């Protein structure tokens, strides 16, 4: 007989129970405070109850969540691109299906993104950001958004006539309300990660050795932690600001164009009355032999 949630008239399969117990009693909706998922595998990090998705490359066993994954681990849960030489996550498949087979680089002609929501406009495969005001459902992209629709994915500053992205909010919340210019006194940046130390809102740069996720600032870093920015600056040969993916790519040198001025200054042309040849003539110095030097003397 299929197990059901202990909540009255709830037929959902239970996955949550008391800590250190293996008996699921409630579903995620009706779970009691303090209950954890006892049916599915949990992150191997102590005191972490998140579902793991990262493991050793080449295996199918997830050990850690994205936060506590070790260096070199990859996502072993999500489907990979079927290209033998590619290890990126697959997101493209045949239109009308939900099976992802290829990444965006190796997707074949006619395939579309089957994992992420796309614009509701017929024939448009862009990701939607615009929807009806007051709703959280994005329906159209910026090009096909209807009149009166707003960007529901990126929250805007609540100050009148300000369209800047909001990043500051009340301390202890995760909902941004104002931009840095219109933030009220006492508000903090709730979009960017802050130091894990209580009451500290500085940017973290220090993490445990072997990890790439910064947790503490320089003041509250624990013994043995390393500065992830310093490590990346040393390995990449340039300064890393916050994370590896934020390091700007090296710009290519622009090839020389026909109208460019040469870097080395050309010799100055002399006038004809100074004994120098005209610009149209090519000056080739003639070597004097010993006989001519004797006659001249």
The pair of structure tokens assigned to 15 is: 């996955």
pLDDT tens across 46-92, in order? 878 788 989 888 888 888 998 888 888 888 888 888 888 887 888 88
The structure's pTM equals 0.40
34: left (phi over 0), alpha (psi -120 to 50) or beta: left
Does residue 243 have a pLDDT over 80?
no
Lowest mean pLDDT among 128-137, 245-254, 260-269: 245-254
Q: In whole numbers, what is the pLDDT of the chain averaged over residues? A: 77
Does residue 265 have a pLDDT over 70?
no
Confidence at residue 60, expressed as pLDDT on a 0 to 100 scale: 83
pLDDT tens across 106-154, in order? 888 888 788 878 888 887 878 888 888 777 788 899 899 998 888 888 7
pLDDT tens across 1-55, in order? 678 899 888 989 888 888 777 788 899 889 888 888 888 888 888 878 788 989 8
């Amino acid at each position: 007989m299929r197990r059901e949630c202990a909540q009255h008239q709830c037929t959902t399969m239970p996955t949550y129970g008391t800590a250190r117990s293996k008996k699921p009693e409630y579903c995620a909706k009706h779970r009691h405070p303090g209950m954890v998922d006892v049916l599915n595998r949990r992150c191997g990090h102590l005191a972490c109850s998140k579902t793991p998705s990262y493991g050793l490359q080449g295996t199918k066993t997830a050990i850690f969540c994205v936060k506590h994954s070790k260096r070199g681990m990859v996502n072993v849960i999500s489907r990979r691109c079927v290209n033998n030489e590619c290890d990126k996550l697959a997101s493209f498949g045949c239109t009308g299906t939900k099976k992802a087979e290829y990444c965006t680089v190796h997707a074949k002609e006619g395939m579309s993104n089957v994992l992420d929501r796309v614009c509701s406009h017929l024939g448009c495969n862009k990701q939607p950001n615009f929807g009806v005001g007051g709703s959280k459902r994005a329906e159209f992209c910026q090009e096909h958004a209807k009149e009166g629709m707003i960007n529901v994915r990126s929250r805007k500053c609540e100050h009148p006539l300000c369209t800047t992205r909001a990043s500051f909010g009340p301390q202890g919340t995760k909902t941004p309300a104002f931009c840095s210019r219109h933030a009220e006194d006492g508000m903090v940046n709730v979009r960017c990660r802050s130091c894990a130390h209580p009451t500290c809102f500085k940017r973290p740069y220090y993490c445990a050795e072997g990890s790439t996720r910064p947790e503490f600032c320089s003041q509250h870093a624990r013994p043995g932690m390393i500065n992830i920015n310093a490590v990346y600056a040393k390995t990449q040969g340039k300064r890393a600001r916050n994370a590896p993916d934020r390091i700007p790519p090296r710009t290519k040198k622009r090839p020389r164009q026909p109208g460019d001025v040469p870097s080395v200054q050309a010799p100055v042309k002399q006038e004809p009355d100074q004994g120098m040849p005209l610009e149209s003539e090519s000056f080739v110095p003639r070597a004097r032999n010993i006989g001519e030097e004797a006659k001249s003397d």
